[in-house]
Structure 1
């Protein structure tokens, strides 16, 4: 299996005030000790900005770099996202994992898009896809709660009106109202990257209805270790593998930490349980 990690599983997040931020040394050591092969980049400042220094640091823990999650404003006709995209392509190997950022801090609210904003977003997605391909790089769009591509209607519009590949994030899709099992079957040819999460469906429904904010829900345990929630992870993995999926599976159970966890506890234990579950799925 192509199994990687993401720093958000250790509570390391780009959102200001998200929670306690663990130091890179401990996070990378725990990834290594869990037998993970690689990691996503994480937020700015988590790993060295210098490419050589970053790659040397990761190699010292036996880890590769899968790619980078990049929230960028794509819907504003007055904003050109290409300079930011080019800077990311210059400094990060691997897949560019786009999120259609709102321009606001955090993921608890988002504006509605008019026709012109949607047209701009879709055009930017196609332009970025072509820009990455011209540099022999891959890009994928991450439907994400609190971004401009969140709901099933958003996902279907992107599928129908752009050519950008998709990141199948099992958790964010469900919380946003899209059945990830359906998407794995319906859009298999468009899926180039996978974030595996399990979800408390009751809490997800409260987020979808607006009864609880997204950040509060994450803090309350919205995302669960694989097998502890309500998503049929085995069915999704078997669907993907049966269809010839060759990309990465990234362990990504977003969490909010209030303090430094005990050794062997907290995120380490949750990711270990997820990996054990995934190993059983493969067997």
Structure 2
């Protein structure tokens, strides 16, 4: 079937089963993709530029860091920054220490504050980033119960104020390996705790991102679309389509499912002496996603 014949067939409402796979994957996209703030660095002061650039590049939504919500609330609120760029806030990334029970109440209080600010400005998902540890001496079995307990507690509390909670496996953290991620998700109360697969971190941690997404598909609530190339820049990550991750394959799994997670493209900050600005980097991400058939604002 040539392109003209295909479009004619599609126009008459023929079911997707009649559409050749190469066209089906390219043309029938249902997800709107946003971008995270990390490309502009970790300071909350960079948030206005990040919001402006994400909007100007045509992405559909934005993810900020938790401390940015609090920082800008003291300066009139994140809402005015979002409104000035006609940008929707979707999610917030919150680092959490999961291995220190003594900090549980402190962190729960902080997350509730951030969750309420997220909801105030229209966001829906809190992404939980596990704390870093010394992987050479780390004993997961020693901390597993504490990790699961605090995840269950904070997930239930945030669900109670209308915020979804999605765990983000992370390189060099207390939840990095396949065994650690699967053990935590198997033990957690998944009525409340969901998953945020980050394609690049999964690959860097030695996992197969396609397999992880398939195994946990009912629990995937949020996604970081990230590539890994192993180079010296961007902490080993790279612009989308330039690395080793089967991004198209993973997205096809999601497209063919009946699940509706929110999706965020992501790339770590460039080196300080880099000639390519964050806006240009996210345009590269956008161009790759457009090549897969995803649409963006003009």
| SS of the residue 2:73 aligns to | coil
Following the alignment from structure 1 to structure 2, what is the Cα–Cα distance between the partners of residues 138 and 51?
A: 26
The residue aligned with 1:280 is 291
Q: Specify which of 21, 30, 33 is matched with residue 53 of structure 2.
A: 30
Matched length: 254
TM-score scaled by length of structure 2: 0.77
Q: Which runs of 5+ in 2 are unaligned?
A: 1-30
Which residue does 2:181 correspond to in 1? 155
- 2:65 maps to 42
- 1:243 Cα shift? 1.0
Unaligned runs of 5+ in 1: 15-20, 204-216
Task: Tell me the distance in 2 between the aligned counterparts of 1:166 and 1:282.
Answer: 25
Structure 1 residues 220 and 275: alpha-carbon distance in aligned structure 2, compared to 1, 3 A threshold? closer
The answer to whether structure 1 residue 92 and structure 2 residue 92 are counterparts is no
Which secondary structure state, in structure 1, belongs to the residue aligned with residue 103 of structure 2?
coil
Question: Where does 1:68-83 land on structure 2 (aligned, <5 Å)?
Answer: 68-80=92-104, 81-83=107-109
Asked whether the equivalents of residues 132 and 139 of structure 1 are also in contact (C-alpha less than 8 Å), the reply is: yes
* 1:92 aligned counterpart, secondary structure: helix
Deviation digits for residues 124-161 of structure 1 (CA, Å, limit 9, x no counterpart): 11112211222222110010112211111111111211
Check the 8 A contact 2:94/2:127 in 1, yes or no.
yes
Match among 39, 50, 53 for residue 9 of structure 1:
39
**TM-score, normalising length: structure 1:** 0.81
| Structure with higher helix content | 2
Classify the secondary structure of the residue corresponding to 2:138.
coil
Structure 1's consecutive aligned runs of 4 or more residues displaced over 6 angstroms after TM superposition are: none
Counterpart-to-counterpart distance in 1, 2:147 and 2:75: 29
Query: Aligned residue for 2:205?
Result: 176
Q: Secondary structure at the match of 1:282?
A: coil
Residue 226 and residue 150 in structure 1: after superposition, are their counterparts in 2 closer, same or farther (change >3 A)?
Answer: same
Do the aligned partners of 2:234 and 2:271 also contact (CA within 8 Å) in 1?
no
Contact 1:199 1:229 in 2 (8 A): yes
Please state how far the C-alpha of 1:255 moved relative to its aligned partner: 2.4
CA shift in 2, pair 1:53/1:221, >3 Å: closer
Q: Please, what is the CA RMSD of the aligned residues?
A: 2.5
Alpha-carbon shift at residue 3 of structure 1 (Å): 1.1
